[in-house]
Each structure stands twice: as structure tokens, then as C-alpha cells.
Amino acid sequence: MCGIVGYIGERNALPVLINGLKRLEYRGYDSAGVAVLGENLQIRKCKGKVTDLEKHLDKSLQSGTVGIGHTRWATHGEPNDVNAHPHESHHGKFVIIHNGIIENYSRLRDRLIERDVKFKSETDTEVLANLIEFIYEKSEVGAELAVRLALSKVIGAYGLVVMCKDEPDKLIAARKGSPLVIGVGNEEYFLASDATPIVEYTKSVIYLNDGDVAIIRKEQLILKTLKNDEQGPTVQQLNIDIGEIDKGGYEHFMLKEIFEQPKSINDTFRGRVRSEESEIHLGGLYNVLPKLIEAERIIIIGCGTSWHAGLVGEYLFEDLARISVEVEYASEFRYRNPIINHDDVVIAISQSGETADTLAAIRLAKERGAMVLGICNVVGSSIPRETDAGVYTHAGPEIGVASTKAFTCQVTVLAMMAIMISRKKGLITDERYRDIIREFTEIPGKIEKILRHNHDIKKVAELFQNATNSLYLGRGYLFPVALEGALKLKEISYIHAEGYPAAEMKHGPIALIDTKMPVVVVATKDSSYEKIVSNIQEVKARNGVVIAVVTEGDTVIKNMADHVFEIPQVDNIFAALLSVVPLQLFSYYIAVMRGCNVDQPRNLAKSVTVE
């Protein structure tokens, strides 16, 4: 979590930092701060968002051409002005911004206090600033060596940028566990937690690897390891466009991203699903196909919405590819003593490619000899770099904290994989394969149709904006959709929402039903249709209020439910891709009506880089 930015060059650094922080606010928004080096070094920081920080900025910061900035998601120390970054060392020689956690900070802090070093904040980051300064002063080494020596004593994760007042011509950046990207301009460099603040200035970037330290002057970048081995940086070209990271006329990123789904699914198909006559082609899996096809078991790991996509994957792989699947929360998997066999295939799903628990679970699975594949959205992020092979979802940048288009693109990739394996194993007939591919390519058009009915969904949302509790039910492929629908509602509107397999309702949640609590039932026409109709009757028999997601033309449920959201007819295996869309819109409209900050819900962050 936390977003960090930096700049060194000829420009006025402040606007670069502030624009960058606004783009990174999805990573945390408890407090914000900048440090700019002009005639002297000035720091401004405060609790709150970047717009709050802007109120503290004055002309005196305008002249600096070197600077760093930070937007925080608090781990150590409550969000307040003092704990906000940047942090200055005790004698004011170093200023630092940091994303990650220094696990041994308490011991380091005690040892520094014993040596009369004074602390102002409760953060682990200030310990690092003081440790660097302590080594710098005691050993009389330069700033770079002081940083490398300090980092060699640190246990934990960091993406950090350091400024030294005595050496104002450089920034020192380092990475272990938390992402850091450097944009390469013409006699200028841009640093950020991801590429979004950089893309408007340059498309040439260097992704730092764990253990890298970069010493950056405006005319030169030197990349080293902590142990001082120099290495040639690899400059890559970004393929995102500035338009992709703006709201594009929508009120919120989340709404824009919901409406982008037809395009992002098409982008995820492109070059992979061509025609009913040709095979699905996933280039990233080419080298591992034999092992994937032969797999006895697939273990899918992820967190949050990505875990929900994994659940849809379980149904797809078992149904189509006849491979047994387990879906695990990465955070549970990594701390158990899981049984992993050499012929298991582990699939890690992550939008950001940076989720700490998912990364740790990948490392554990690799240690135990499994082949690990990744399904990620952010190109060049940590997970694709640590996995054996994988498939990118081409959803484009997802900025809204609540995931929407990433989910449908993850499910699209899982469906492509399952269909491809099924075909290679000879489990589907040519005719069924052609039908499936035809249906698959019609999905974007069908989503467009659902989106055209957004005003009907908004009207229903109006009726339920004051709800305090809600229940989401689904069966089969639609059970993960119920979970995802409930997650969307609770995370952005703060209405308590519980997702449940519809048949399990009888074992507990049925007790909650009253005339006020909306029960959202995902009940499109599939093999469980008759069963879910019975579940709806059970709710209605207890005077419950039912909002149902149904297949167009369904009159049976329409007559029973209080409200319906219609989706086009679709093959069971793709039902999740369509049925989730009205639920995303429903949550969105409710949250807006309740005055919630839809793109930046309280306490959450887009990319959870702490465990």
C-alpha cells in the first residue's frame, strides 16, 4: 500500500509530485506529503488526501527541481500529520518516503534511542531515516553507501526514495517487496509505485527488481545491488495511454471501468480467441501446456475479488477440463502447511500483481516444487515476474479501488484456459466447441446491452439506498457472483452484505429475513434454475424483499420477485460474466446516493502490499 513518487530534472518538481500522488491515491489516502529541494529543503505533509495537502503548499516550494512525495495507507502509527511521510532524520540530513513494512523496526529503534537518536513519529519509516543518518555520520561514508548499509540491516519490505541534504544532486531509490518504477526522460527521471504517474511524461521505464538500488542524478542513473554490484538497467516501453488513466467524462473511475468491460474483454480476447474454427491461443502458456493438460490438480490462489474469480475458475476447470480444483485465500494457504505435489499446477490471480499474501503464497508453492502460473493485469508487476508462465488480462489500468473490469477479464482468461484444456484433452465435440466460441465472442455485446439498462438499475438502487443489511444468494457458477456482488456493496456503500450459496440460506441466514432486508438472488436460467426458484419462494414466504438477476424473458421469477435485473440469455459457463454487471452498477449507484467516496472507500486500498 502507499504510493510514492519522485522527480529529478529541470522541471518544477512540485506539480509532477502532486499530479503523481493524485494518480496513486488509490494505493492509500490517509495522509499525504511532499519534500522539495530548491534553495533549501522543504517538507509539507498532513493528514488527509492530496487535496488537503494542496492547501499547505505555497510559492516557496515552487523553485525546486528535485522532490519526493507520498500518499499513505497507515500500518505503523495512526494517520496524522506527524506520521505522514516524508520523514526527516534526527539531524535533518535525510528525508525519506517508504512503501512497505520494516519488520525489525522496534529493535532498530531501541538501539538508536540508546545512542541518543530522537524520534518524532511512531512509524517504521522514521527508523530507517535515522538508521541511514546514524551510519552516514558515524562511518563518514557517502549517502549511497549509508543507504545500502542501512538496508542490509533491515528485515521487511520496502520501496523507498531517499534525499540527502548534503548531496542534493541525487535521489537514491531501492526496492524489496514493494514496487518501484523509474521513468527515463531527457535529462530527467520520474519515480513512482506504478507507471500511471509516469506515462504522461515518458513511455521508457525501468522496473526495479528486489534488491536493486538506483542512484539517480538528472543526467545519469546507476543501478546496483545492495552489495554494490553494478548492473545494466533494462529499459522497457509502456503501452498504456494517458487517456486510459483519466476518468474520460465519467463521474467516477468505477463507473468508467464498469462501462469499459465490453472493450476490456475484447482486448483480453484479442489474438487469443479468433474464430469458431481456430484453437484458443494463449502464448504465455505455450511452454507449459503439456504439464497444464496433464495436471492432476489445480490450486488457485488470490485475495478479494481475484479470489472470487478463482471460484468461478473452479467451476470452469472442473466442468470443462475435468481437473480437480482447490481455491485458496493466499493469506491462509501461505501460513498452513499445504500439501503440494510436483504435478500440481498453482494459478495465482491478481489484478495488481503486487498483493503481498499472493506473492508469498507463490513463493511457498515454488519452493515446494509446483509449477506456478499467473493471471495478472499490471504488466511488469511482481507476480508475472515471479511465476513460471502466465496470461495477462488486458483490462487496462483499474483505478477504482473496488475491482470490476479486472474481475470479468480474470474470468475471461480462466474460461479461455478451461476451454483450451478441454479441447486439447478431447473432452468437447467440435460442435460444442464452435457453440462455446460463438457464445464467448458475443459476451461483450451482451454486456453492452446490460449497460444500456443502467437507469433501471439506478431506480431500484434508489429504493434500497438506506438499507443496513443485505443478503446475496447464488448457486453453481452464480455463487461466486453472489459473493462478489456482496463484496461490491459492502466495500463502497458500507452496507453490510453477506454472500451465500442459495441452498445454505436455510442453515442460518434465513433467520435474518424481514420486510426490510433486500435479498439479491442471482437466478439466471441454468441447471440449478428450478432449485433457485424454490429458494426465492422460501424468501417470499417469509415476507422477504427479493431483487433477482434473471434471464431476459423469464416470467416465473418476474412474478415472484419484487424487482428484477434482466441479462441476455447465455451459456451457463459464461453466466458469471454477465450477471455480475448489474450488481456492480447496483452497488455503485447506492454508494453514490449515500454520498460515499466510491473510488476511494474508507480504510481500503487498491493494492495490498502488506500482509
First vs last Cα of the chain: how many Å apart?
Answer: 10
Q: Is 71 helix (H, G, I), strand (E, B) or coil?
A: strand
CB of residue 179 to ligand G6P, shortest distance in Å: 11
| CB nearer to ligand G6P: pick between 593 and 604 | 604
Nearest to 280 by CA among 288, 272, 290, 269: 272
Q: Write out the H or E segment, with its range, that includes residue 538.
A: helix 529-540
Amino acid sitting at position 311: L
Chain residues binding ligand G6P by CB under 6 A are 303-306, 350-352, 355, 358, 401-403, 604, 606-608
Cα–Cα separations (whole angstroms), residue 32 to 86, 247, 354, 468: 8, 22, 21, 32
| CB nearer to ligand G6P: pick between 351 and 493 | 351
Amino acid sitting at position 55: K
Confirm whether 49 is a catalytic residue.
no
Strand arrangement of the beta sheet that strand 189-192 belongs to: 41-47, 31-37, 66-72, 3-8, 189-192, 181-184, 204-207, 236-237
Q: Which of 47, 49, 525, 606 is catalytic?
A: 606
| Residue 120: Cβ within 10 Å count | 11
| CB nearer to ligand G6P: pick between 493 and 528 | 493
CB of residue 10 to ligand G6P, shortest distance in Å: 35
Which residue minimizes CB distance to ligand G6P?
A: 304
| CB nearer to ligand G6P: pick between 6 and 480 | 480
Output DSSP code: residue 317.
I
Q: How far is CA 523 from the centre of its chain?
A: 29
Contact (CB, 8 A) for 443 and 578: yes
CB of residue 117 to ligand G6P, shortest distance in Å: 36
Nearest to 550 by CA among 538, 532, 537: 532
- Give the integer Cα–Cα distance in Å for 277 and 271: 14
CB of residue 494 to ligand G6P, shortest distance in Å: 14
| CB nearer to ligand G6P: pick between 338 and 374 | 374
CB of residue 358 to ligand G6P, shortest distance in Å: 5
- Give the integer Cα–Cα distance in Å for 391 and 349: 10
| CB nearer to ligand G6P: pick between 94 and 259 | 259
Strand residues in 303-419 grouped as ranges (E): 324-329, 344-350, 371-376, 389-392
Q: Evaluate the omega torsion of the peptide bond into residue 444 and state whether it is cis, within 30 degrees of 0.
A: no
| CB nearer to ligand G6P: pick between 402 and 576 | 402
| Residue 576: Cβ within 10 Å count | 31
| Residue 537: Cβ within 10 Å count | 12
Grid coordinates in use for 607?
493494492
Name the H helices within 387-502.
405-424, 430-452, 454-464, 479-493
Confirm whether 218 is a catalytic residue.
no
Q: Evaluate the omega torsion of the peptide bond into residue 86 and state whether it is cis, within 30 degrees of 0.
A: yes
In degrees and rounded to multiples of 5, residue 202 shows phi and psi of -155, 155
Output DSSP code: residue 177.
B
Contact (CB, 8 A) for 306 and 351: yes
Grid coordinates in use for 288?
507449459
| CB nearer to ligand G6P: pick between 167 and 357 | 357
| CB nearer to ligand G6P: pick between 492 and 546 | 492
CB of residue 607 to ligand G6P, shortest distance in Å: 6
Q: Which residues are catalytic?
A: 2, 606
